[in-house]
Structure 1
Amino acid sequence: MDDAEETMDTLFDVVVVGGGAAGLAGALTLVRARRSVLVIDAGNPRNAPAAHMHGYLGHDGRDPAQLAARGREEVTGYGVRIRQGTAIAADRLPDGGFLVRCGDGSTVRARRLLVATGLVDELPAVPGLAARWGRDVLHCPYCHGWEVRDAPVAVLAGGPLSVHQAQLWRHWSERTTLLAHTWELTAEDRELLAALGVAVVEGEVTGLAVDGDDRLSGVTLAGGGVAECRALVVAPRFTARSGVLTSLGLPTTGLERDGRVIGTFVASDAATGATALPGVWVAGNVTAPMAQVAGAAAQGVQAAVAINTDLIEEQARRAVEAYRAGS
């Protein structure tokens, strides 16, 4: 009997949608709280292109895939069920629980939901850029700054945050350049960059230059020139993977910086991950786009504690009602 047949008619205490750091950390906390847990994992984590992750105490430099594999071993050892597949929508049931619908047509029922589906990084439309994402096309200096310290770093301008990015990355490398690309820099921007010693390269970026060792060596410009860099910093648009949540009527919120929307997220309580819909919690990048792996895992734990508390309180309410009815 396969997982789909075995779980279609099973009522789980919690269904966790998403098998990354947030989802697995939540599942681990819940199963150790003696909850029945199913994790539905589509198998396409945001950090899949990266060979290493950083800033996670005790796991610095580990392959993200290894962390996920270790996490799956840990949670299944306690009895968590993991099902490969994509949860595409969910329905609220009359009893307050949920019916989760998967892409293969199967369904599963849950008393509570923890959605940790992450986000999609939508990259600038520069040829060759997507293929090197997470390798030498980067975004977060706290994730990758140490690895390219003192090397030539170029920041691809694409919005008001680009100057801020250049300011940040210059802390790791004084050889930081801002590529104006198609963005119009203000006089104030140029003054700040000049004061910091960040050179500005004019002209639209048309592609990437790679050396014989398959390492980034620079970017090509519309005028025919090449700007040297060993790392190219971009500002992706962060789009929440929110299908299950929006199917329940939970909207996405625009993530704004300097008056410009740079992505979407699903709003939640900062301490617990609770959404506006009772019974549904979120954790990780679907609600906190800037969270790193360690932060996402911590959110999964916080949400799991809140979910278990909610289930305990519901059990207590029902016990009191039954007690009064029998008195």
Structure 2
Amino acid sequence: MRQDVIVIGGSYAGMAAALQLLRARRTVLIVDAGQRRNRFAHHSHGFLGQDGMDPAVIWKTAKDQLSHYPTLTWVDGTVVEAKGQKDAFAVTLDEGSVHHGRRLLLASGVRDELPPVPGLTERWGRTVFHCPYCHGYELEMGKIGVIATGSMSLHQAQMLPEWGKVTLLTNGAVEPDDEMRADLSGRGVTIEPTPVAALEGRADVRLRDGRLLGFAGLFTASRAMLPSDLASLLGCEIEEGPLGQLIVTQSSKETSVPGIYACGDAGRMPHSVSLAVGDGAWAGAQLHRSLIF
């Protein structure tokens, strides 16, 4: 069976796109590897109507709703190869099956490349975050640490005083110039130059000189990486943005390759559940238009 659209990635953006197509009675195959980016978090914030919900519950509810549409096929798996052209694409899954479709939608999201700080990975999404709009409010204006990874960390340090008392831990990754130091000082930000040795407790930072700094929460600017080289192998243009890798798309969400679209964290910046859903809904509508005009 040839699908109208094959969606690679069944998280928020991919499902939002699929919903528009299913409601237009189009056939859709979703292939999902089960690697939601926010699988480490227990609560999702900033998504209208779902504020504070477990992101896994939001995902499952959406999937259950999609399952009522008879033109949906859902496969748990990973796409290991994709080829073809507009109206004649073929994707191969890790278990060997091959599926055909008129359009491809890359909605596989991204993975976070984290700084190599001992104890950080275990706390990612729980007490170490990247988005203040998603997690800042719950810190109750407490002490916030920013573990620097590069220039984006300076931007984080400038923003985060809206949510608490901020300490920028430069950690050898960034050196603010005099103008930036004056700016941060004016915002009440403390600059700590001693490198970080490890994270301890809930959100405590052990410095290399032995001091232990306690925080309500920590932020760091992770680097977004596409989860595989599938987009590049298909010939899609990829660029390095301030937050990491990004599949380049037109306003219609079509990539540089005709018939291949991208949405969600893989195809836009910045990132959040709300933005991914909106981007996916737009991509789904544009995919439908491409099938009828």
What TM-score bracket applies, with the shorter chain setting the length? Answer: over 0.9
Q: Secondary structure at the match of 1:78?
A: coil
Aligned length: 291
Q: Deviations 1:136-170 (Å, cap 9, x if unpaired)?
A: 10110000010113111011122122222111111
State the 1:121 CA deviation: 0.7
Partners in 2 of 1:53 and 1:123 — Cα distance?
Answer: 20
Q: Which of residues 135, 152, 157 is equivalent to 2:143?
A: 152
The correspondence of residues 163-174 of structure 1 with structure 2, limited to 5 A, is: 163-173=154-164
2:216 pairs with 1:230: yes
Partners in 1 of 2:199 and 2:135 — Cα distance?
Answer: 19
The correspondence of residues 204-219 of structure 1 with structure 2, limited to 5 A, is: 204-210=195-201, 215-216=202-203, 218-219=204-205
State the 1:130 CA deviation: 0.5
Give the conservation status (yes or no) of the 8 Å contact 1:119–1:289.
no
Give the conservation status (yes or no) of the 8 Å contact 1:17–1:40.
yes
Match of 1:250 in 2: 236
Q: Percent identity?
A: 37
Match of 1:83 in 2: 75
Q: Which of residues 228, 233, 245 is equivalent to 1:264?
A: 245
Match of 2:35 in 1: 44
State the 1:133 CA deviation: 0.4
Give the conservation status (yes or no) of the 8 Å contact 1:89–1:243.
no
Partners in 2 of 1:124 and 1:268 — Cα distance?
Answer: 28
Match of 1:290 in 2: 270
Give the conservation status (yes or no) of the 8 Å contact 1:18–1:115.
yes
2:106 pairs with 1:115: yes
Give the conservation status (yes or no) of the 8 Å contact 2:111–2:226.
yes
Runs of 4+ in 1 over 6 A off after TM superposition: none
2:285 pairs with 1:299: no
Match of 2:225 in 1: 239
2:159 pairs with 1:179: no
Partners in 2 of 1:312 and 1:202 — Cα distance?
Answer: 58
Partners in 1 of 2:76 and 2:49 — Cα distance?
Answer: 28
The correspondence of residues 67-82 of structure 1 with structure 2, limited to 5 A, is: 67-79=58-70, 80-82=72-74
The correspondence of residues 265-280 of structure 1 with structure 2, limited to 5 A, is: 265-270=246-251, 272-280=252-260
Match of 2:206 in 1: 220
Give the conservation status (yes or no) of the 8 Å contact 1:87–1:102.
yes
Q: Which of residues 127, 132, 136 is equivalent to 1:136?
A: 127
Root-mean-square deviation (CA, aligned residues, Å) is 1.4
Partners in 2 of 1:113 and 1:295 — Cα distance?
Answer: 20
The amino acid across from 2:73 in the alignment is R
Match of 1:22 in 2: 13
Q: Deviations 1:68-108 (Å, cap 9, x if unpaired)?
A: 11111111101211100011221115x74100111222211
Partners in 2 of 1:52 and 1:156 — Cα distance?
Answer: 22
User: TM-score, normalized by length of structure 2?
Assistant: 0.95
State the 1:242 CA deviation: 5.0
State the 1:289 CA deviation: 3.5
Q: Secondary structure at the match of 2:67?
A: helix
Match of 1:5 in 2: none
Structure 1: stretches of 5+ with no match in the other structure: 1-9, 257-261, 314-327
Partners in 1 of 2:238 and 2:80 — Cα distance?
Answer: 16
2:185 pairs with 1:194: yes
Structure 2: stretches of 5+ with no match in the other structure: none
Q: Does the C-alpha gap of structure 1 residues 86 and 65 become closer, same or farther in structure 2, counting only changes over 3 Å?
A: same
The amino acid across from 2:191 in the alignment is V
Partners in 2 of 1:222 and 1:242 — Cα distance?
Answer: 36
Bigger radius of gyration: 1
The amino acid across from 1:62 in the alignment is M
